[in-house]
């Protein structure tokens, strides 16, 4: 029987449960289990019994149980019962033997590949590129989802759960030079604080913030993902402007113009990037000296001394850059 499509609330609850499924518990033999105990799953979710059966699996049974004791709960040791549907424990108040349903002490884990393929579907990641979904990294905390089109370019998408518990390993992983310099890391929980710079040109996005929660069927806000991906490393979102420059594809887009400008030269792209950064800060006219200094940060001699020389051989620049005052340049927005 085919799976029933998830509603938006059910997807968000499953993502929460998946985040908590990374926690560790022990069974009666001291073996580690990774999942969420039944007493937590069954009483703190609005997921239906069918959804829980379809999207989670029992990976074992906890070795202890928080038994009621007055107004509190006290962890007590569990023992198997002659009835396979029950577990026994000694009441911390009366010291008498009591039992609890096996479903209450079962440890449930969300079926990771099944859920991650749903997220990949929302991002239109081709199935052929999703091999990393079946191969978790960092002790089951990180997955490579594949490449998705975010804005004008294809971007590597990663998925992490339990970010706070694996942040050191995560940073070391993404600083490896064998990985692309840029990517988007989706998290099931919160993202990094704004004062923490992400590794290289990677950016974090919390799924609860980019799944459109007011629609009945799940949909990803890809425009928001693009803004997150292109924001500076300090975590602030770029303002919505009539002009946009993608520093990775070197494409300048001006809303009033039908065609974007694909900038070829590295120096030219550095100059336009600087103009865009100043526009984001409210400076729409910038001195030629500043622009040239940004284009040649590593050279004192042998560099262009005029904007026209910097863009020589590419007359297209005059359609996108304006020179309304002597020595002052900005974007041609008309």
* Number of other CB atoms surrounding residue 277 within 10 Å: 16
Query: Among residues 27, 148, 6, which one has the least CA distance to residue 78?
Result: 27
CA 158 – CA 146 distance, rounded (Å)? 7
What pLDDT was estimated at residue 172? Answer: 92
Q: What is the largest CA-CA distance in the chain?
A: 91
Helix axes 8-20, 112-122, angle to 10 degrees: 130
* Number of other CB atoms surrounding residue 230 within 10 Å: 19
What pLDDT was estimated at residue 1? Answer: 44
3-state secondary structure (DSSP) of residue 117: helix
- CA end-to-end span of the chain: 58
17 with 36: CB under 8 angstroms? Answer: yes
Mean pLDDT of 306-327: 88
Q: What pLDDT digit, counting tens, does each position of 119-140 carry?
A: 999 999 999 999 999 999 999 9
Question: For 304, left (φ over 0), alpha (ψ -120 to 50), or beta?
Answer: beta
Say whether pLDDT at 234 is over 70.
no
pTM for this predicted structure: 0.68
Query: Among residues 96, 95, 39, 94, which one has the least CA distance to residue 64?
Result: 39
List helix spans (H) across 137-287: 163-174, 207-210, 222-229, 266-280
Q: What pLDDT digit, counting tens, does each position of 246-302 carry?
A: 776 788 888 888 888 888 888 899 999 999 989 888 899 999 999 998 888 876 655
For the chain, give every domain's residue range: 8-110, 112-229, 243-331
Question: For 103, left (φ over 0), alpha (ψ -120 to 50), or beta?
Answer: alpha
Query: Among residues 117, 119, 112, 141, which one has the least CA distance to residue 128?
Result: 117
Q: What pLDDT digit, counting tens, does each position of 133-177 carry?
A: 999 999 999 999 999 998 878 999 999 999 888 888 999 999 888
Residue-level length of the chain: 334
């Amino acid at each position: 029987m085919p799976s029933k499509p998830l509603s938006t609330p059910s997807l968000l609850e499953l993502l929460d449960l998946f985040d908590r499924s990374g926690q560790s518990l022990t069974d009666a033999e001291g073996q580690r289990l990774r999942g969420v105990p039944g007493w937590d799953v069954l009483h703190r979710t609005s997921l239906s019994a069918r959804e829980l059966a379809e999207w989670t699996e029992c990976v074992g049974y906890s070795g202890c149980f928080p038994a009621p004791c007055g107004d509190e709960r006290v962890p007590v040791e569990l023992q198997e019962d002659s009835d396979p549907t029950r577990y026994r424990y000694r009441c911390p108040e009366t010291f008498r033997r009591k039992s609890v349903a096996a479903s209450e002490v079962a440890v449930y884990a969300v079926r990771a590949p099944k859920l991650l393929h749903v997220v990949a579907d929302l991002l239109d990641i081709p199935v052929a590129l999703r091999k990393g979904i079946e191969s978790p990294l960092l002790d089951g905390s990180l997955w490579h989802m594949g490449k998705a089109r975010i804005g004008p370019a294809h971007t590597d998408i990663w998925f992490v759960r339990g970010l706070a518990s694996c942040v050191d390993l995560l940073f070391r992983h993404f600083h490896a030079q064998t990985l692309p310099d840029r990517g988007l890391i989706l998290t099931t929980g919160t993202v990094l604080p704004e004062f923490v710079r992400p590794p290289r040109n990677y950016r974090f996005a919390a799924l609860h913030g980019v799944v459109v929660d007011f629609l009945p069927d799940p949909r990803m806000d890809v425009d928001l993902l693009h803004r997150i991906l292109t924001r500076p490393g300090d975590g602030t979102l770029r303002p919505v402007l009539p002009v946009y420059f993608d520093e990775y594809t070197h494409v300048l887009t001006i809303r009033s113009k039908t065609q974007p400008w694909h900038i070829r030269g590295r120096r030219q792209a550095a100059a336009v990037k600087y103009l865009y950064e100043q526009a984001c800060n409210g400076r729409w006219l910038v001195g030629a000296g500043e622009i040239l200094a940004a284009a040649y940060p590593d050279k004192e001699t042998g560099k262009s001394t005029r904007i026209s020389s910097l863009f020589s051989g590419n007359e297209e620049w005059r359609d996108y850059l304006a020179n309304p005052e002597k020595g002052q340049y900005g974007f041609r927005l008309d």
